[in-house]
Chains A and B, each alone.
Chain A
Amino acid sequence: MEQPVLQAKDLYFSYDGKVNALDGVSLDIHAGERIAVLGPNGAGKSTFFLCLNGVLTPARGEIVLDGRPVDKKGRKRLCERAGIVFQNADDQIIASTVAAEVSFGPMNLRLPKDEVARRVDHALDYMDLQAFRARPPHELSGGEKKRVTIADILAMESEVILFDEPAASLDPAGEERLEGVLGRLSAGGRTLVISTHDMDFAFRWATRAVVFAGGKIIADGAPETVFRDAETLRRAHLKPPMLLGVFELLRARGLAPADAACPASVEGLAALLDGAEPPACGR
């Protein structure tokens, strides 16, 4: 098996020294994966992301980047390689203009000025933000701010991007746009890890589902396998995705083939019911 890009090995972390926010978490992240991280509030998802990127140092356990454990000196390299898009855009946005904001990461990497300018331009183009470049980011709408925070990380050219509940403050149009960006990033070879409460999104988008509860990973595998496990769903207070329920129903009524796997999208289900090959989308 190929070398994982990023590994968490038996992480423990506590904010107050009493309760473990992370209680022995291990995860191997491979290049090109699309991982959905699920679990109730307070399960430790955000804390896990902060450890993966090196902002928090776990009390025990280690982060391994390209097979080498990350020490104090390697932290900068870690936050360059694995970027976080924070849940709350206002916490992340720091500068007075969109262009200055996007430049903050590359400037911290101490890159030459024209390289910073090139990256800022590229990130703004990618997120369709050129028209906003001189605007104060605090004045933008929620969806636009989210795009700015994604551009922030793109400018660092991180190959692993951790999204902490990116849809939390978006309207349906913003969510759709976000999903488009995620699709492009994934097609471009980035490794994406996204924490979310949206089971339907996780089911149609992810190649792998990881479930957190009480600071532990209680399930890790293909989304269909994980979401069929009633015990896991009960422990993490999750509801199975709609499509899986519909598919089960169709199969129980003999309307869908008994041996087929559940398709990831409504289009896939339509194709399956029509007896055609499901389209090669998602997984």
Chain B
Amino acid sequence: MRHAHHTHGVRSIDHLAYTSGMGGWNPAFKTALALGTLVICLAADRPAVSAAVILALAALQKAKGGLALHDYLGLLRVPLAFLLLGGLAVACDLSRVPAGDWSLSLHWFYVCAGADSVRFAAALVLKSLGAVSALYLLALTTTACEFVGVLRRLHLPGLLTELMYLIYRFVFVLLDTHGRMREAAGARLGWRDFRTSCRSFGGTAAGLLLVALRKSRAYYDAMAARGYDGGLAFLEEDKPLHAPQLVWMAAFWAALILLRILTA
């Protein structure tokens, strides 16, 4: 049941925010913490800093968010797979003759890697993973509505916020509908063999487009029926900012910067 897991994965972002121990934190504070850490991680450009960010944020998600380490790793799996593949591409070269420090013969050509390029790729993967961790701090603890509120207060153009939110909402519909269509096709033996599968996929993809068009109209109608005329806004609960949180954030950032200086 791959799709069920998939649908669940995306759908559960709001669920994670609801169950997260950090759900009650001030959303603007979480945004600042996430973006600040992201910037430091990218600007420092040191494996040690990236690793510290990854570990500290994982610990935070576990200790304060109450997210089981296993679930956190599960959520990191997809971006991690992409990053590792990308890292592999950066680390390795293809060549007709053996080159670099290691080479693997694949009959027609060699896959080669040098110690430098491997180190560079590892640093890149760590840095990207640090950046993903920082964004996850926001994504796993803040509802989409609250995030819209933060963006609005940052005076991001309303159209942009709206577009982001609608796309986010649409992902659910598409995954949901696709899952249901696949099930329906499966019930009619649409995935029996490769050829039928290809046909069924074509069918569901075309169906998906129609559903998407119809849904976008239904969504718009339902929003307009409640007086929507641009400018997405929801009532937000007051989530006060606590002074110790600010102190911790400053200390965390200072430690990261110190680490950067020490590893210069």
Contact = CB atoms under 8 A, between A and B. Distances in A.
Interface of A: 50, 53-56, 76, 79-80, 83-84, 86, 88, 91-92, 94-97, 99-101, 103-109, 113, 116-117, 120, 134-136, 138-139, 152-153, 156
Contact of B226 (A56, A83, A117): A83
Given A96-B14, A107-B235, A136-B18, A79 B225 contact: yes
Contact of B225 (A55, A107, A134): A55
A54 B223 CA distance: 12
Given A50-B221, A136-B15, A139-B15, A96 B143 contact: yes
Given A84-B222, A105-B226, 5 more contacts: A86-B221, A95-B234, A100-B143, A104-B234, A108-B226
Contacts of A135: 18
Contact of A134 (B18, B218, B224): B18
A79 B222 contact: no
Contacts of B109: none
A104 B222 CA distance: 11
Nearest to A156: B226
B15 A100 contact: no
B143 A97 contact: yes
25 contacts: A55-B221, A55-B224, A55-B225, A79-B226, A79-B227, A86-B218, A86-B221, A86-B222, A91-B219, A94-B223, A96-B14, A96-B144, A103-B235, A104-B226, A108-B226, A108-B227, A108-B229, A109-B227, A120-B235, A134-B18, A136-B15, A136-B17, A136-B143, A138-B14, A139-B15
Contacts, number: 93
Contact of A84 (B15, B172, B219, B225): B225
B65 to A, nearest CB: 16
B146 interface: yes
Top 6 A-B pairs, shortest CB-CB distance: A103-B235, A96-B143, A108-B227, A136-B14, A100-B234, A105-B226
A134 B172 CA distance: 20
Contacts of B223: 94, 104
Contacts of B144: 96
B229 A99 contact: no
B234 A107 contact: yes
Interface string B209-241: 000000100110111111111000111110000
B132 interface: no
B225 A97 contact: no
Contacts of A136: 14-15, 17-18, 143
A50 B228 CA distance: 14
B11 interface: yes
Contacts of A76: 227, 229
Nearest to B219: A91
Contacts of A104: 223, 226, 228, 233-234
Contacts of B218: 86, 88, 91
Contact of B222 (A92, A97, A99): A92
B84 interface: no
Contacts of A80: 227
B119 interface: no
Contacts of B224: 54-55, 79
A134 B223 CA distance: 21
A228 B10 CA distance: 52
Contacts of B229: 76, 108
B199 interface: no
A156 B17 CA distance: 27
Nearest to B169: A94
